Amino acid sequence: MREQTGHVVIVDNHSTDAEVTMLRSNCIDSKVDAVLNPENFGIARALNIGIQQAMQLGYDWALLLDQDTLIDRNLVETLCTAYEAFPEKFHLAVIGANFRDIHRPTAQTQATRAWEEVDWVITSGSLLPLSTYADIGPFRDEFFIDFVDTEYCLRAKTKGYHVIRVLTPLMSHSIGKSSPHRLFGKTRWTTNHSADRRYYMARNNTALLREYGNYSFGGWIFKGFTSCLKPWKRILLYESSKGSKFTAVLQGWWHGVIGTMGRRR
């Protein structure tokens, strides 16, 4: 990251003492800072803290990355090339990077164009113009984790901004810990997310359906519940800790319905 950016800001959500010591040892470089949160504030607030730090340092752009993402040497250069090619630069919310899933190898095809317009991109590997961020508003702290990126992109599009993604994979990343399973002669994949992550996924997806879906007479409530059926099926067939995950998904859906947000207690 340091080779491709002017400054690196690490926002740590209350790691162990050994991990904090490791982070501090990396901050002897004047171009690397660490913000050590006293508790786990969630990824949304951590992103906002890092972006505010970038603004205070006088930067106009911020590259957002998760701790488990490994970036290619040409990531920033390629994202900037996509920006230069985009015709409506002043109405661009975010440039996302495509990725290779380290747990789920897929055949790579040659991209026929540099970028495509999409509804949303994942946070990691995304490049944000900070002037646009100031207009759209910060990431939603109350989402804590999961669908934080989706909500930001949907909010941006309601304000007339565009979201684009570079088609060439520029980093190695993972969505959960995907594992393959054979069923009726076909390979099925499941992400093996923890019960907590299943909770946030169900809750925040339901919240998005309520806020951005075009449903009448509470139809978003039913849609949120039917969206829980697919993870339930995957959990039942392939994953461990089935009981706690089933409960987490149901609780998440219900909290999304009644509007209970923030960190799961």
3-state secondary structure (DSSP) of residue 83: helix
Q: Of 174, 41, 65, whose CA–CA distance to 128 is shortest?
A: 65
User: How many whole angstroms separate alpha carbon 214 and alpha carbon 49?
Assistant: 32
Of all residues in the chain, what percent are helix, strand and coil, respectively (each to 5)? 45, 20, 35
pTM comes to: 0.93
Range 8-173: architecture per CATH: Alpha-Beta Complex (3.90)
pLDDT tens digits along 26-47: 888 889 999 999 999 999 999 9
Band (pLDDT 50/70/90 cuts) for residue 111 is low
The full set of domain ranges for the chain reads 8-173, 179-258
pLDDT tens digits along 165-193: 999 999 999 888 888 888 888 888 889 99
Q: How far is CA 111 from CA 76, 115, 170, in A?
A: 18, 9, 12
- Cβ neighbour number for residue 246 with a 10 Å cutoff: 17
Four-point Cα dihedral 214, 215, 217, 218, nearest 10: -120
User: How many whole angstroms separate alpha carbon 71 and alpha carbon 168?
Assistant: 12
